[in-house]
Structure 1
Amino acid sequence: MATTWLDKLEQELNIDIDWMDPDFLVQMQPTIKFHDLTSNQNFVDIQMGHPSNVELLRETAREVRDEYDASGADQTHPLWLAIYTRMAVRMCKKVVDLIQGRVLLQTSPAQAYSTEATLAHARLYDTEFARAGISRDRFCIKIPCTGPALTAAHILQQEGIQTLGTALFGVPQARAASQARCLSISPYYNDVRAHADRSFWPVVADPALQHPTSPRLIQILEMYRRLADETGQRQPLVKAASFVSKEEAMAAGELGCHSATLFNTLIEELKSLPYTDADRPGGAEAARYALPKPQSTDPADFYKDRAPPSPRLRGLLSTDPLNAADPSTPATSYETATATDYLADGGKLLDAAIAEDQVTKEWLDAALTLFIACEKRSQDKVEAVLAAL
């Protein structure tokens, strides 16, 4: 059987699925059993509205409502959010045995600038996962990369709850996620607006070399490689996300990411295409530098004995096309990033760094705006069910 683009990419990194439909996972089983299953408020909302979950949502709403009524006391969370959270975990329960690794859910984007609210929602997820019989080694909580939220992530990590720093667009956010001891980060390769409006999408023939986000991504990977070597401390795994094209997904392999988070439609496209080195962006030269992924599954081993960027990509370490004012210098120097305590004083230095970087600020705002709107749609679904009980 011919090797497909999906087969080749899985040789270079772990393929994670950004889609919660159990039928799709079963359909893909003969080809691949995905590593992690990630989600956000958009995918939770889509699946919550699926016909197969109508009765489950009704049962969950009734159950949580009755618990609230019986408690006779003020609750930490609004009723709709408590129902949403249990429902999201129950949908994870449907798919957790269909993947190899962890299921991931994201804390409320509306509370991305509140440490206490982010902590409270993450702990509620932890409680609901335990209720559903899903142990801590099978889930991870996605935390938006703001100063207050990553401050919460640091506390959660100390409590034994694994976190992923998401909505990440710049080197300071990546360093802050390392300081928070996050298990993983999810750098977005594209602005979320590019998925609905292609005017936000940079179309290039060779994304690894030419996409404007590639320099920041490889600078993050190199920072983690050096930090792991110099400090001996585990660094976050890089789970790149927000790919629009199959060529961008393949770039993640050459860049050296730990995993790529892919939509179901992109996975189907990769599965349908026979792979040859000549067809790959960058051709045979890119294929030569796209190394097989490490065999160890221990996160502490990912950066061990890792080589610096290849000669083909090494020039990306000294540029930042996303900085219109000065694209000829790195996004943030290694020395500056490693010397700054971005989580000091509740993450104020990280928020200041975000505010100073126009792209990170705009793309983070766009991501949070999108996810808040999706969360509101789910709130409306929950409240409609409650009204009908």
Structure 2
Amino acid sequence: MGNVTWLNKLSEQLKIDIDCMDPAEAKRFLPMVPYDQTSNQRLVYEQMVAPENRELFLKTVREGKDEGWEVILDRMSALLCAKNINNLQGRVLLQSSAFHAYDTEKVVAHARSYAREFEKAGISKDRICIKIPSTGPALNASPILLKEGIRTLGTSIFSVSQAIAASQASCLSISPYYNLPWYHADKANQWPNVEDPALQHPMSARMVQIQQVYQRLREETGKPQPLLKPASFISAREAMAMGEFGCEHATIPEDILLQLSILDADANPPPGNDAPKKTGIPSPRIAHLASTDPLAGPNWDGKLASTDVDYLADNGAALSKAIAADPVTERGLREALEAFQANELQSKAAIEEVLKQI
């Protein structure tokens, strides 16, 4: 028997999702089979223009030349997922357009378009999930889609109020961003590269708060709460912390999966407490973080977002207000949407370049 790796340890604690659309990466870590495959506009663009997908791309553009670039992009996105579906245990995820983040009807229409393209590609609704930005208008699309059998994931989550709103919207799951967008953009100066992320990373407090709120809602309402599938990791240590938070899944990019698969858990134990956890409950070692919020700044009043507020009413007015009142969430959401908009325009340009040649 080989050495026990960090990936082995983490796999005992939660379901590993792969933050990558490349089938070769999904197969690289056998016998560990990823649960879900997530994606976003950047990952779709990168796979769409990859040399190994060139023929599929050209064929898809040619066949859809009279339907417009958006239909072609949705179709290509679903076809790229279809190439990977047999390497996964669970669902494939595509993200609704960031340009529609504040328009409920357009989010609904885009999710339906994805579902149609998935169906054509042979992927049923029970194996898909549509990522929607955690804004008031976008989350209002989730109950509509649920009635049609289309499940959603609330993404670009930076706050407890967004997580409560995603629960009210009956999202299947949520993806809190563990690292803020500007940590990625300026790792040398902005990223908190700490030894024990579960205890020391500034987002850890909000992770514990979300888990505790969901645990209370489960007990009070008897309803299942969204699964926690955090994303946006920069180090293997951060990914390991997700087990200690009691997360159901962790959405991990291929480079960090590789690091996790190499690190020896005996020779180089991961930080924190890596015993298998009770899902949904953070470990006692970090429970005290719930009463802190390093990201809120020095003027934080110690009050958590209330579960009594209807964050979806009036097109999500209360959620919009809560986001605007929290500078970290406002900036994080804005920068995430701007990045995905830029990626979508890259895909549009690539499709239009081929259309010109037809």
TM range (shorter): over 0.9
Q: What amino acid is aligned across from residue 6 of structure 1 in structure 2? A: L
Structure 1: which 5+ residue stretches go unaligned? 69-78, 295-302
Q: What amino acid is aligned across from residue 21 of structure 1 in structure 2? A: D
> 1:360-383: CA deviations, max 9, x gaps?
001111111111111110110011
C-alpha separation between the residues in 1 aligned to 2:245 and 2:239? 10
Q: Which residue in the other structure is 1:72 paired with? A: none
- Which of the residues 256, 280, 285 maps onto 1:266? 256
Q: Which residue in the other structure is 1:364 paired with? A: 333
Q: What amino acid is aligned across from residue 37 of structure 1 in structure 2? A: Q
1:41, 1:106 within 8 Å by CA — same for their partners in 2?
A: yes
C-alpha separation between the residues in 2 aligned to 1:277 and 1:316? 29
SS at match of 2:284: coil
> 1:89-140: CA deviations, max 9, x gaps?
0000000011100000000011111111111111100111111110011110
Aligned CA-pair RMSD: 1.5
Q: Which residue in the other structure is 1:74 paired with? A: none
Q: Which residue in the other structure is 1:100 paired with? A: 89
C-alpha separation between the residues in 2 aligned to 1:153 and 1:143? 8
Q: Which residue in the other structure is 1:147 paired with? A: 136
SS at match of 1:84: helix
1:176, 1:342 within 8 Å by CA — same for their partners in 2?
A: yes
1:141, 1:164 within 8 Å by CA — same for their partners in 2?
A: yes
SS at match of 1:200: coil
Structure 2: which 5+ residue stretches go unaligned? none
Q: How does 1:1-389 map to 2 (within 5 A)?
A: 1-28=2-29, 30-66=30-66, 68=67, 79-198=68-187, 199-276=189-266, 279-282=269-272, 286-287=273-274, 290-292=275-277, 303=280, 308-327=281-300, 329-330=302-303, 332-333=304-305, 336=306, 338-389=307-358
Report the Cα offset of residue 278 of structure 1: 6.6
Cα gap change, 1:317/1:376 in structure 2, threshold over 3 Å: closer, same or farther? same
Instruction: Give the length in aligned residue pairs.
Output: 356
Report the Cα offset of residue 359 of structure 1: 0.3
1:157, 1:180 within 8 Å by CA — same for their partners in 2?
A: no
Percent identity for Structure 1 against Structure 2:
50
> 1:137-194: CA deviations, max 9, x gaps?
1110000001100011221112210000000000010000000000000000001232
C-alpha separation between the residues in 1 aligned to 2:149 and 2:175? 20
2:16, 2:34 within 8 Å by CA — same for their partners in 1?
A: yes
Moved >6 Å (runs of 4+) = none
Q: What amino acid is aligned across from residue 376 of structure 1 in structure 2? A: L
C-alpha separation between the residues in 2 aligned to 1:3 and 1:237? 27
SS at match of 1:43: helix
Report the Cα offset of residue 328 of structure 1: 6.9
SS at match of 1:312: helix
1:11, 1:293 within 8 Å by CA — same for their partners in 2?
A: no
Cα gap change, 1:255/1:203 in structure 2, threshold over 3 Å: closer, same or farther? same
Report the Cα offset of residue 41 of structure 1: 0.5
TM-score by length of 2: 0.96
1:212, 1:322 within 8 Å by CA — same for their partners in 2?
A: yes
C-alpha separation between the residues in 1 aligned to 2:256 and 2:85? 21
C-alpha separation between the residues in 2 aligned to 1:348 and 1:162? 23
SS at match of 1:339: coil
C-alpha separation between the residues in 2 aligned to 1:293 and 1:135? 31
C-alpha separation between the residues in 2 aligned to 1:186 and 1:196? 20
> 1:212-251: CA deviations, max 9, x gaps?
1001011101111111111101110000100111111111
C-alpha separation between the residues in 1 aligned to 2:106 and 2:170? 20
SS at match of 2:156: strand
Cα gap change, 1:56/1:345 in structure 2, threshold over 3 Å: closer, same or farther? same
